[in-house]
Amino acid sequence: MEWREEGIVLGVRRQGETSVVAEVMTRSRGRHLGLVRGGRSRRLQPVLQPGNTVDATWRARLDEHLGFMTVEPVTLRAARLMESAVGLYGIQLLAAHLRLLPERDAHPRLFDTLALIVEHLDDPVAAGSLILRFEIALLEELGFGLDLETCAATGGRDDLVYVSPKSGRAVSRDAGEPWRDRLLPLPAFLKGDVAPGSADVAEGFRMTGFFLARHVWEPRAIKEPDSRVGTLGVIARAKVSAEG
């Protein structure tokens, strides 16, 4: 068994004295693991850092085996990501989200979104808005997609400002007014070309966090990733700095 494809490094774990098990996200092979011999060497350690793009070749006798992986650098961006808090937290959060998916399941939409995000993990608000869209796509890939296109009450497409916590569907301003305290906010930038602000991004994370907790974290008896809390903290600090 053998394949070769570009992938984005999500993480590594030590294996023996000199090797590591590398975890990469690929477009057609999904999240894939492989043993990299010499992965702790001075040559490969800088390559096998989260956020880097590598040319990965995987080989195994049988498909169900862990297999051996060799990697060559394509784009080394990890050092830049580690220079900012949003970059450091962001790549950890994206990796945590992708680990919710079965290994080796292809999710090309999530891979393409991941590839876009890692190029913009320097501005907290811009990165936050992209990660928020990633969470919406993740919910859909997991089978819990939100309907943010039409009002759950009227079927209309205009002035959608809420999301129903029961159905995960959008609600218009007029239809939702009597229950506004029970509804989740729907940030305007998710519905149009409006530039996101830090408060809008924070509201969006509140929305996706509610559905991730209900459908994913609580049923699996896991907690919200610390990296998500860290990402939200960076966005909140960016808001304070902007206002200051």
Please give the Cα distance from 208 to 131 (Å, whole number). Answer: 11
Residue that the structure tokens 């906010």 belong to: 185
Q: List, in order, residues 6 or more apart from 138 with CB less than 8 Å away.
A: 97, 100, 110, 212
Angle 96-100-103 from CA coordinates, rounded to 5°: 105
pLDDT tens-digit readout, 102-143: 999 999 999 999 999 999 998 899 999 999 999 999 999 999
Kindly tell me if the per-residue pLDDT of 1 is higher than 50. yes
Average pLDDT of the chain, as a whole number: 94
The pLDDT-based confidence of 244 (bands split at 50, 70, 90) is very low
pTM of the model: 0.93
Kindly tell me if the per-residue pLDDT of 58 is higher than 90. yes
Q: List, in order, residues 6 or more apart from 150 with CB less than 8 Å away.
A: 156, 157, 160, 169, 170
Kindly tell me if the per-residue pLDDT of 241 is higher than 90. no
Residue that the structure tokens 């002035």 belong to: 159
Kindly tell me if the per-residue pLDDT of 242 is higher than 70. no
Kindly tell me if the per-residue pLDDT of 236 is higher than 90. no
The pLDDT-based confidence of 243 (bands split at 50, 70, 90) is very low
Give the pLDDT confidence score for residue 186 in this predicted structure: 95
Q: List, in order, residues 6 or more apart from 145 with CB less than 8 Å away.
A: 139, 168
Please give the Cα distance from 92 to 168 (Å, whole number). Answer: 27
Helix (H) / strand (E) containing 72? strand 68-75
Cα distances from 101 to residues 45, 58, 94, 138, in angstroms, run 26, 20, 12, 9
Closest to 36 in 3D by CA, of 75, 79, 69: 69
Please give the Cα distance from 123 to 86 (Å, whole number). Answer: 7
- Phi/psi at 154 (5° precision): -115, -20
Please give the Cα distance from 209 to 212 (Å, whole number). Answer: 5
The pLDDT > 90 percentage for the chain reads 88
pLDDT tens-digit readout, 139-171: 999 999 999 999 999 999 999 999 999 999 999
Give the pLDDT confidence score for residue 56 in this predicted structure: 98
